[in-house]
């Protein structure tokens, strides 16, 4: 089919580059996007993603559908509302030239057109409206309408009747309207022919999960086809615009897209292999032989034919990470995935895990001779030197890149980050699958290609669990294998995880799930729960068990001086004592009371990012697995010490906390097999609590009193590890044991109120569960089609949030302010460590960040305004720096003291940022 001069004169892109005017015919961009989309579907999507998309529609038909969808996405630009838009840089000469071309090709009087309601018909919405009127089914038309990141809110065909001139230039003049109608119909027919359809009615409808992935694929294809060069590097051209004297006929569309793809596709895909021999795999990838429990669990995972969810419950320190990574390769092999995502609670635990995953991936890269890409996904990723030291794939010519090198691909950044094959990040990245937010489709596309590993799952509260449940439902809908790790998982949480996944995959639970009787109350430990298709299998026999280890538990009054007296007594002959408290203020109070005769290290969240990193490294060097242990040391910290840090205490003191978290903390007690100082040969855990019936406002602000009461009731004086772990966790979290605890009614009532509030609050901005047709023909039933489309999927969305705001949204925490903390001495500015600001690189200065306590910024907008004004006055040059633009500063005096917003501030490199309310005189 040969296109008319009218269709060929429509522009898709225009630009004035360094005084040179360029354009791109609309049909060229549509064909570019079709070619990219076709390649992405056939060569970039994994076998697992294509398998999900072709459950109902065969592969050949789905390939045709992708080609047509990617081609037709910008049909809405074939309207006078778009063709008369100004260029971004207001190049009126360029605009007039292109309109003159249209006028000379039958679009008469276009240069005199005025459209008062132009904004009512943006091109994505217009494309959906035109296609619906042309007869395209609504499930596909809705994808066109949403290709800029957010779907429309329903049937758009009436748009044409209400804003007719936006579509046809005139409301009633048929002579003026006809060229637009002809061009639009011609472009549709051309796309149908290119894709292999004879009529638009042949384009099949899709269900909602399919539509979400196709939308993500379309957005990605459109972004690629809109890239004139790779990462703004003019030496790496992709889809260039052309001169005004050139036309569509001057373009070699095949060579154009092939060159662009070869420029963009600079990493190798991982081809996972079957884990045929577990012992050999561990030796190859981890340089040691697996423990008996590791080998046994891996063998069970290998038995799965249609693996979905794997939950591993086992004690701290037995190597769950290695189990998960080995399982990830096996699960990827079986389900056809080519990527892995590992989610963790905090940036600190994420950094620690990144090193282990990068080491594993480097072994894979060397074995297979490939160059995979990896991403570290959290707000401080660019300040992790082990991550930033990795080579940038785009900076190395393919022939110069040694096979077996793990790289970072800069194209996968921002909203595109999760599209990278391998990613280690904070759990927020996964929870955000459930948050209504523009371009959510890209996140779903990225996760649909991965084996997902979730570590420390017990650490997530009711609000975060709601988002996790939503994410699991959608991962189930995409048939994504998920591995969940925990040492202390209540059975109710385990059951909810299983039900969420199977509901997403099979729409319902009761009539689908096949499991042995009593699975919901299983208290075995260690325990492997494996969802294979519709069958749940649980394993608890992993061979002979090791001799249980006893831990003594004692309560002690939580008054700091009394606690420190006991600490000093316990380590009088040497030893490492850990003190874990529930708040930063309490950690600083303890630190201020430690005498000068004993080395002390403090770790919590109120440190500069650089100081915290330094302290974590120092802690690992002292009491890590290969640390050089001092004779005597007191380590004081908050919850950061209980998660994923491989450190070892001789004796531990901890504020009271729910039983699972107490046991997590205790996992750092006698963690390594080393000789112990005199008097500390046995595990000793001291639980700090007030002598009163209450636990104090600070503790009860962090943890529900209900769980603290039940923990205190069921916590015995002696615990057998690991045998008692699951039993104790289930006793505390099982509501059936409430009648064994006195005076629990008030705390239980508060818990239920808080739960309902958190659940309701979480759901207010969550996407809906996956929607499927009740029967195959329902896809064609008008009464069902509105429910099955992606219409309204993101209604009442959260808008465009930055990383900090997005994390706050899925964690139910107040948004906080990060500032660069400095001190002023004699008119000069310095870092807290004494380095002079004027002698620093902007990149290094930008790392000196700390979060202001929420108490100091009760009105966050007012606080930001004050900080912006102060920063602009003191550091006007920051706005011209790519690293410092938008940064906020707080300046203290030469003693690292100051005031802000009615609070006195003080910073210490040993104890962090402290604050107190200023007293009015």
- 469: closest CA among 517, 508, 431? 431
- Percent of all residues in the chain with a pLDDT value above 90, rounded to a whole number: 79
Buried b (16+ CB within 10 A) or exposed e, 325-350: bbbbbbbbbbbbbbbbbbbbbbbbbb
For residue 894, what are the domain limits?
A: 814-917
Chain centre distance of CA 469: 15
Write down the pLDDT at residue 774.
64
Residue 568 pLDDT more than 70?
yes
pLDDT mean over 871-891: 93
Out of 375-389, 432-446, 776-790, least confident range: 776-790
Q: Is residue 393 part of a domain?
A: no
Q: Residues with Cβ < 8 Å from 196, sequence gap 6 or more?
A: 64, 67
pLDDT mean over 332-357: 93
Cβ(423)–Cβ(374) below 8 Å: yes
Residue 780 pLDDT more than 60?
no
Cβ(633)–Cβ(576) below 8 Å: yes
Q: Is residue 731 part of a domain?
A: no
Cβ(31)–Cβ(71) below 8 Å: yes
Q: How far apart are CA 247 and CA 5, in angstroms?
A: 10
Q: How far apart are CA 138 and CA 145, in angstroms?
A: 10
Q: Compute CA distances 920 → 251, 858, 901, 914, 917, whole Å.
A: 75, 18, 13, 19, 9
Q: Residues with Cβ < 8 Å from 692, sequence gap 6 or more?
A: none
Cβ(416)–Cβ(441) below 8 Å: no
Phi, psi for 448 (deg, rounded to 5)? -65, -15
Cβ(485)–Cβ(324) below 8 Å: yes
Write down the pLDDT at residue 743.
94
**Same structural domain, 809 and 824:** no
Which of 772, 789, 813 marks a domain boundary?
A: 813
- Give the CATH number of the domain where residue 197 resides: 1.10.3210.30
Cβ(913)–Cβ(907) below 8 Å: yes
Phi, psi for 719 (deg, rounded to 5)? -120, 135
Token reading at 269: 């895909």
Phi, psi for 239 (deg, rounded to 5)? -110, 80
**Same structural domain, 756 and 859:** no
Cβ(16)–Cβ(91) below 8 Å: yes
Q: Is residue 792 part of a domain?
A: yes
Write down the pLDDT at residue 1.
85
Helices (H), 594-679: 609-623, 659-666
Count of structural domains within the chain: 4
**Same structural domain, 230 and 141:** yes
* Helix and strand element counts for the chain (H, E): 34, 26
Phi, psi for 346 (deg, rounded to 5)? -135, 165
Q: Which band of pLDDT confidence, cut at 50, 70 and 90, is reported for residue 279?
A: very high
Q: Is residue 618 part of a domain?
A: yes
- Give the CATH number of the domain where residue 434 resides: 3.40.50
- 681: closest CA among 562, 550, 547? 550
- Percent of all residues in the chain with a pLDDT value above 70, rounded to a whole number: 97
Q: Which band of pLDDT confidence, cut at 50, 70 and 90, is reported for residue 220?
A: very high
Cβ(718)–Cβ(550) below 8 Å: yes
**Same structural domain, 666 and 644:** yes
Task: List, for residues 541-555, the tens digit of each pLDDT value.
Answer: 998 887 899 999 999
> Which DSSP letter does residue 919 get?
P
Which of 756, 785, 813 marks a domain boundary?
A: 813
Task: List, for residues 173-211, the tens digit of each pLDDT value.
Answer: 999 999 999 999 999 999 999 999 999 999 999 999 999
**Same structural domain, 450 and 419:** yes
User: Which helix H or strand E contains 45, and what residues bound it?
Assistant: none
Higher per-residue confidence, 459 vs 341: 341
Write down the pLDDT at residue 815.
74
Token reading at 68: 């047509």
**Same structural domain, 850 and 771:** no
Q: Compute CA distances 287 → 72, 292, 364, 370, 868, whole Å.
A: 52, 16, 13, 20, 52
> Which DSSP letter does residue 235 get?
T
Taking residue 630's Cβ as centre, other Cβ atoms within 10 Å add up to 14
pTM score > 0.85 for this model? yes
Out of 8-17, 78-87, 292-301, 382-391, least confident range: 382-391
Which of 689, 721, 753 marks a domain boundary?
A: 721
Interaxial angle between packed helices 26-39 and 59-72, expressed in degrees from 0 to 180 and rounded to the nearest 10: 150
Buried b (16+ CB within 10 A) or exposed e, 209-226: bbbbbbbbbbbbbbebbb
pLDDT mean over 575-586: 97
Cα R_g (the chain), whole angstroms? 30
Residue 771 pLDDT more than 90?
no
**Same structural domain, 229 and 309:** no
Query: Rounded to 5, what percent of the chain is helix, strand, coil?
Result: 50, 15, 35
User: Which helix H or strand E contains 846, and what residues bound it?
Assistant: none
- 773: closest CA among 495, 383, 507? 507
Q: How far apart are CA 203 and CA 192, in angstroms?
A: 9
Q: How far apart are CA 655 and CA 799, in angstroms?
A: 39
Q: Compute CA distances 355 → 374, 375, 490, whole Å.
A: 11, 12, 29
Q: Is residue 170 part of a domain?
A: yes
User: Which helix H or strand E contains 69, and what residues bound it?
Assistant: helix 59-72
**Same structural domain, 489 and 525:** yes
pLDDT mean over 685-713: 94
> Which DSSP letter does residue 900 get?
E
Residue 336 pLDDT more than 60?
yes
Q: Compute CA distances 899 → 173, 518, 608, 875, 918, whole Å.
A: 70, 60, 18, 19, 8
Q: Residues with Cβ < 8 Å from 241, sequence gap 6 or more?
A: 13, 14, 15, 17, 22, 23, 24, 228
**Same structural domain, 761 and 870:** no
**Pairing assessment for the beta strands 600-603 and 632-637 based on DSSP bridges:** parallel
Q: Is residue 712 part of a domain?
A: yes
- Give the CATH number of the domain where residue 602 resides: 3.40.50.300
Q: How far apart are CA 422 and CA 417, in angstroms?
A: 10
**Same structural domain, 619 and 704:** yes
**Same structural domain, 192 and 85:** yes
Cβ(861)–Cβ(878) below 8 Å: no
Residue 331's region, left for phi above 0, alpha for psi from -120 to 50, else beta, is: alpha
Q: Is residue 403 part of a domain?
A: no
Instruction: Tell whether the torsion through CA atoms of 330, 334, 335 and 338 is positive or negative.
Output: positive
Q: How far apart are CA 479 and CA 307, in angstroms?
A: 9
Q: Is residue 273 part of a domain?
A: no
Average pLDDT, the chain: 92
618 SS3 class: helix
pLDDT mean over 291-295: 96
**Same structural domain, 782 and 863:** no
Token reading at 759: 């659940």
Write down the pLDDT at residue 777.
56
């Amino acid at each position: 089919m040969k296109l008319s001069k009218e269709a060929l004169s429509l522009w898709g892109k225009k630009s004035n580059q360094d005084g040179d005017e360029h354009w791109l015919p609309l049909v060229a961009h549509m064909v570019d996007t079709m070619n990219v989309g076709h390649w992405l579907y056939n060569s970039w999507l994994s076998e697992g993603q294509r398998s999900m998309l072709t459950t109902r529609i065969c592969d050949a038909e789905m390939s045709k559908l992708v080609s047509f969808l990617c081609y037709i996405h910008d049909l809405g630009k074939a309207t006078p509302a778009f063709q008369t838009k100004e260029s971004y840089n207001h190049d009126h000469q360029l605009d007039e030239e292109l309109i003159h071309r249209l006028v000379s090709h039958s679009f008469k009087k276009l240069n005199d057109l005025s459209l008062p309601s132009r904004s009512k018909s943006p091109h994505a919405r217009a494309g959906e409206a035109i296609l619906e009127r042309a007869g395209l089914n609504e499930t596909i038309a809705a994808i066109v309408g949403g290709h800029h990141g957010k779907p429309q809110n329903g049937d758009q065909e009436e748009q044409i009747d209400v804003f007719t001139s936006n579509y046809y230039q005139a409301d009633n003049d048929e002579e003026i309207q006809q060229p637009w109608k002809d061009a639009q119909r011609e472009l549709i027919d051309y796309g149908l022919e290119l894709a292999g359809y004879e009529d638009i009615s042949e384009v099949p409808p899709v269900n909602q999960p399919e539509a979400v992935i196709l939308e993500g694929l379309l957005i990605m294809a459109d972004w690629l086809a809109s890239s004139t060069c790779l990462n703004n590097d003019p030496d790496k051209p992709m889809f260039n615009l052309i001169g005004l004297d050139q036309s569509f006929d001057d373009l070699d569309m095949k060579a154009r897209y092939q060159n662009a793809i070869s420029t963009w596709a600079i990493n190798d895909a991982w081809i996972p292999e079957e884990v045929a021999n577990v012992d050999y795999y561990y030796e190859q990838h981890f340089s040691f032989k697996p423990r008996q429990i590791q080998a046994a669990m891996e063998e069970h995972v290998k038995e799965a034919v249609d693996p979905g969810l794997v939950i591993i419950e086992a004690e701290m320190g037995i190597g769950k990470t290695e189990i998960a990574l080995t399982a990830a390769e096996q699960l990827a092999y079986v389900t056809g995935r080519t990527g892995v995502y590992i989610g963790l609670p905090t940036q600190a635990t994420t950094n620690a895990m990144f090193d282990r995953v990068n080491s594993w991936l480097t072994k894979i890269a060397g074995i297979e001779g490939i160059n995979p890409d990896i991403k570290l996904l959290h707000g401080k990723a660019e300040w992790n030197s082990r991550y930033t030291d990795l080579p940038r794939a785009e900076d190395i010519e393919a022939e110069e890149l040694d096979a077996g090198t793990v790289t970072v691909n800069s194209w996968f950044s921002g909203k595109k980050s999760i599209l990278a094959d391998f990613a280690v990040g904070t759990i927020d990245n996964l929870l955000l699958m459930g948050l209504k937010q523009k371009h959510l489709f890209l996140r779903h596309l990225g996760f649909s290609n991965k084996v997902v590993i979730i570590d420390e799952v017990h650490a997530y509260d009711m609000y975060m669990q709601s988002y996790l449940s939503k994410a699991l439902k959608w991962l189930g809908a995409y048939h994504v294998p998920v591995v969940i790790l925990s040492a202390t998982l209540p059975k109710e949480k385990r059951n909810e995880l299983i039900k969420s996944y199977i509901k997403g995959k099979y729409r319902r639970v009761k009539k689908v799930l096949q499991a042995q009787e009593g699975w919901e109350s299983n208290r075995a430990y260690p325990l492997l729960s494996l969802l294979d298709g519709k069958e749940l299998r649980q394993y608890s026999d992993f061979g002979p068990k090791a001799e249980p280890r006893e831990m003594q538990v004692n309560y002690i009054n939580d008054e700091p001086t009394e606690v420190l007296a006991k600490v000093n007594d316990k380590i009088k002959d040497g030893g490492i004592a850990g003190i874990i408290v529930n708040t930063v203020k309490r950690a600083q109070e303890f630190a201020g009371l430690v005498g000068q005769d004993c080395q002390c290290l403090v770790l919590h969240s109120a440190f500069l990012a650089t100081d915290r990193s330094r302290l974590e490294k120092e802690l690992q060097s002292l009491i890590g697995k290969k640390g050089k242990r001092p004779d005597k040391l007191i380590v004081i910290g908050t919850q950061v010490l209980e998660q994923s840090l491989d450190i070892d205490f001789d004796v531990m003191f901890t504020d009271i906390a729910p039983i699972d978290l107490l046991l997590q903390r205790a996992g750092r007690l006698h963690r390594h097999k080393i000789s112990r100082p005199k008097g500390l040969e046995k595990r000793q855990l001291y639980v700090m609590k007030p002598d009163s019936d209450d636990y104090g406002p600070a503790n009860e602000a962090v943890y529900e009193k209900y769980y603290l009461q039940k923990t205190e009731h069921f916590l015995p004086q002696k615990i057998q590890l690991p045998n008692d772990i699951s039993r104790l966790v289930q006793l505390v979290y099982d509501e059936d044991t409430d009648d064994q605890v006195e005076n629990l009614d008030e705390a239980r009532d508060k818990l239920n109120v808080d739960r309902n509030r958190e659940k309701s609050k979480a759901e207010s901005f969550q996407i809906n569960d996956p929607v499927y047709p009740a029967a195959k023909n329902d896809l064609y039933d008008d009464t069902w089609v509105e429910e099955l489309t992606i219409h309204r999927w993101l209604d009442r969305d959260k808008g465009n949030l930055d990383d900090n705001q997005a994390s706050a949204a899925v964690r139910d925490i107040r948004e906080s302010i990060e500032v660069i903390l400095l001190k002023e001495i004699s008119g000069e500015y310095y870092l807290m460590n004494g380095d002079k600001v004027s002698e620093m690189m902007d990149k290094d200065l930008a790392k000196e960040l700390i979060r202001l306590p929420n108490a100091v910024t009760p009105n966050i907008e007012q606080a930001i305004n004050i900080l912006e004004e102060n920063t602009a006055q003191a550091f006007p040059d920051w706005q011209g720096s790519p690293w410092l633009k938008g940064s906020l500063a707080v300046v203290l005096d030469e003693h690292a003291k100051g005031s802000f917003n009615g609070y006195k501030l003080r910073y210490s490199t040993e104890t962090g940022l402290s604050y107190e309310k200023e007293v009015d005189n």
